[in-house]
Structure 1
């Protein structure tokens, strides 16, 4: 994922948490903040230490970044997203993770795809 598409700084995460709207399912919590001055979306990914060791957490983040790379064109572009992974995702396949992420993005009202 390109640098322009990432949220890395703590104050940027805090702004999305404070002013954004959250939606959730069993596997994810997604916070969405409207940023009309941006031409593209930005994403921050959070995986708790409760999920497992660094290898497990980094694998989950890599999978989520790849899914976002695939479906990024189907998201509303002028927004910031924070995606928080929950425990059930550890045992899920790539296909199931993608399906669950699309579901929570539909619930959040930011999915433009079919």
Structure 2
């Protein structure tokens, strides 16, 4: 798999799992959902465990503007995620859902906000992992 696209959340079913089983949080300009992936086993579908680290997905609704504007938002967000991907190491699926104000947001501010989101997701995953080890749970 291409290294640039290896950490992307792609399948509709995977998005639905994150929405259904994950948690929703809010940052200033971006709402985000995240869900820990279960440990790989023989019964888990192979495509869910092919990426050992995080998988990031983007949703940019039509309400944010025409296709040109939405694609620009997605390009900028993908670059911000790529620059900060090293901040998260847990096997977690994250969906970023920007607000309208992201269109006019300075790129450095966008990068900072994405970094803050990824740090908070990693911290939540670390807390869930330590709590899961003591109680047997694996979800945040």
Please classify the TM superposition score into its range, dividing by the shorter chain length.
Answer: 0.7 to 0.9
Where does residue 110 of structure 1 map in the other structure?
122
1:19 CA displacement: 0.4
Pairing of 1:57-96 with structure 2 (within 5 A): 57-96=70-109
Matched residue count: 110
Which structure 1 residue ranges, 4+ long, deviate > 6 Å from structure 2? none
- If asked which structure has higher relative contact order (CA below 8 Å, sep 6+), I would say 1
Q: 1:109 to 1:82 in 2, by over 3 A?
A: closer
> Unpaired segments of 5 or more residues in structure 1?
none
Task: State whether residues 84 and 111 of structure 2, in contact with CA within 8 Å, keep that contact through their aligned partners in structure 1.
Answer: no
* Higher-Rg member (1/2): 2
> Aligned-residue CA RMSD in angstroms?
1.7
Q: TM-score, normalised by structure 2?
A: 0.71
Which residue of structure 2 lines up, in the alignment, with residue 52 of structure 1? Answer: 65
Deviation of 1:3 (Å): 3.1
Aligned to 1:20: 22
Tell me which residue corresponds to 2:32: 30
| TM, length-normalised to structure 1 | 0.85
